[in-house]
Structure 1
Amino acid sequence: MCNILQVRWTLTPKTSPQPWIACSGCGSPKPFRSSGKIRLNANGKRLDAWLVYKCIDCDKTWNRTLFERRTVQDLGPSTLEALQGSDPEWVRAQEFELDGLKRKAKRVDEPSDVIIRKEAIHAASGWTLLDIEMSAQFPINLRLDRLLASELAISRSRLQALRDGGKLRAHPDRNDLFRHKVKDGLRIILDLSEIADRQAIGEAAANSDHC
């Protein structure tokens, strides 16, 4: 690793997915945003739970069913505590449970705005290889070429030229790499040994938090 600048980019979506629901207040389908609040209802010894969403225009609510008629024993104490307190981390995991959300709504908007935290893992003096590891807890609705071009401050055509010249590799790799969304665990390795602005690209790659 004597010639590698290794960095990790941790990507966190700013906005959770927004289902389109027929809004009784607006009289037409509208995108709804999560309120971050859980609604619970006890029915004998069983519980029902919903995640409350609000219309982005009129604040009319829609209750997204999380489960019905579950016993307290089935849920476990930690889940029950998270439900009762609308625990933000637990709620956020539900907001990004896209398969379940898409069963409730025919259209779900996935905003592409992200917060990116960059950290240098290893920085060798005189490095020539740039190794970028992507970390994403939730789905990221952002194409890889757009992310790299923005965060490295280079054009997408230049990225493609590096790719065509064998100077940009990925793990895992695929032919249509740039057209796909960023995935957790993806690694991008660039050979910048012949690139005049190598240092500038490296500084952009390892720079601190970027929104």
Structure 2
Amino acid sequence: MCRALRVRWTITPKTAPRPWIACSGCGGLKAFQSSGKIRLNANGRKLDAWLIYKCVDCEKTWNRPLFERRNVRDIDPSVLEALQSNDPQWIRAEAFNLDALRHKSQRIDEFPGYDISKAVIGEAPRWTELEIELAVPLHVGTRLDRLLASELAVSHTRLQEFHDLGRLRIDTQRSDALRRHIRTGTVAIFDLSPEPDRERLWRSRATGAVL
């Protein structure tokens, strides 16, 4: 029988990654941040698209290629519409495309700050387990152990004790799961049967409910 309080945490990063690029204005490598703007150039039926970045110090621009000389017919209509309208959600998602950024820069600053939304998705009577499912639509530079310790108000030492005693299970075979960056689909399951304050403190912290 399931005896779990099941919650879903949706984590949204506050700051997009910043690649370091040679800045002609500053005369050296500098961090660049997304301007949230797209530049398009049409040549017949071919289209070029760039995401515009600005140096954090002098605001010199750098155009990060999204694609070049792409036939308009080969572009997904929804992507084309997003490009032409400078859709902020599409642009924001592209600004978090770490794989693309790593092709252009050897150094990328990532930021741990995030907003979090907590929702109960299931609650058994007299539950003894806490099951936390993560939804991470964009890359967040935060490790799982830091997220759990911060949001559940437990020390890293106690969190590690939970793990070592088998009272914290992560749905992965990786031994370093706690030290890896959070990602969608990760599930952390706590055995709280010995905890007398699970209904008052643990439930409040896991769900964001005010005591």
Same fold (TM over 0.5): yes
CA–CA distance in 2 between the matches of 1:44 and 1:38?
19
Match of 2:206 in 1: 205
Question: Structure 2: 5+ residue runs without aligned partners?
Answer: none
Identity %: 55
Task: Give the alignment of 1:77-88 within 5 angstroms.
Answer: 77-88=77-88
* TM superposition shift of 1:42: 1.2
Match of 1:103 in 2: 103
CA–CA distance in 2 between the matches of 1:107 and 1:70?
28
Match of 2:125 in 1: 125
Match of 1:113 in 2: 113
When the two chains are superposed, the root-mean-square deviation of aligned CA atoms in Å is: 1.4
TM-score (norm 2): 0.93
* TM superposition shift of 1:72: 1.4
Runs of 4 or more off by more than 4 Å in structure 1? none
Give the total of aligned pairs. Answer: 208
Match of 1:188 in 2: 188
Match of 2:27 in 1: 27
- Give the SS at the match of 2:205: helix
CA–CA distance in 2 between the matches of 1:26 and 1:151?
40
Task: Give the alignment of 1:34-73 within 5 angstroms.
Answer: 34-73=34-73
Q: Which amino acid aligns with 1:144?
A: L
Moved more, 138-147 or 150-159: 138-147
Q: Deviations over 1:128-152 (max 9, x none)?
A: 1100001111222111111100000
Q: Which amino acid aligns with 1:14?
A: K
Q: Deviations over 1:48-77 (max 9, x none)?
A: 111000111111111011111112111143
Structure 1 contact 16–96 (Cα < 8 Å) conserved: yes
Question: Structure 1: 5+ residue runs without aligned partners?
Answer: none
Match of 1:13 in 2: 13
TM-score (norm 1): 0.93
CA–CA distance in 2 between the matches of 1:170 and 1:76?
37
* TM superposition shift of 1:44: 2.3
Q: Deviations over 1:179-204 (max 9, x none)?
A: 11112101111011101332302210
CA–CA distance in 1 between the matches of 2:175 and 2:73?
48
* TM superposition shift of 1:5: 0.7
Match of 2:179 in 1: 179
* TM superposition shift of 1:126: 2.2
Moved more, 73-82 or 154-163: 73-82
Task: Give the alignment of 1:137-176 within 5 angstroms.
Answer: 137-176=137-176
* TM superposition shift of 1:2: 5.1
